[in-house]
A and B are shown apart, each in its own frame.
Chain A
Amino acid sequence: MSDLRGLYQEVILDHSKRPRNFRVLEGANHRAEGYNPLCGDRVTIYVKLENDRIIDVAFQGSGCAISTSSASLLTESVKGKTLAEADAMFERFHALVTGEANGNQTSGVPLGKLEVFSGVAEFPLRVKCATLAWHTLRSALKDEGKTVTTE
């Protein structure tokens, strides 16, 4: 069970049961949908961007505990950040959940609460759950306009 406690940390369980910023964002000027065909997880990310800065961000969707909590914590983490800062955070987060040590360029980026996802690295099949919202955010910011899938 120790690995499982590492995966399903209290913060993750809390955010999966009570996701923050779980709503349609009025006045959003960027939006994208993400889909994980493996488990059917769906997420829609709404962003209000002003002069390169994420003024507000929210999400909706349904998914497992990892994907829901990841989306919820994403919204808390990137709010107020610049595009470059959010991008660096994703790079760092990705390195964390895949267990890659190559976060050199971005290793200075503080992840804060997102550190609770470190346990995901022990569960390679769940990396897609943890990164779905982040890929979707990136798509929203680029206005790619197509559904992001993890496949």
Chain B
Amino acid sequence: MHVEFLGVPRQRAGVSEIEVQADTLGQLLGILSARIPSFSDLMNVDRLHSALVANLNGERFISDPQTPLREDDSVLILSADAGG
């Protein structure tokens, strides 16, 4: 699936997007932590730190690690604190 980083996650990842294979959100986050060491600072065990959120296909926000993902999904990872 396609993973897009915005804001601080993009800064930490050093790239704006990558392709990853994962069946669930938890699995995806585990892969990202392993592949991008600085990304693990943004994790809280198997979830994103509360300062971050994940969004599925630009539509709904997801947080449950068991959330199933499909190969053609696009996952966005961004700062939860969207305001300014």
Is A bound to B? no
Chain A interface residues toward B at CB < 8 A: none
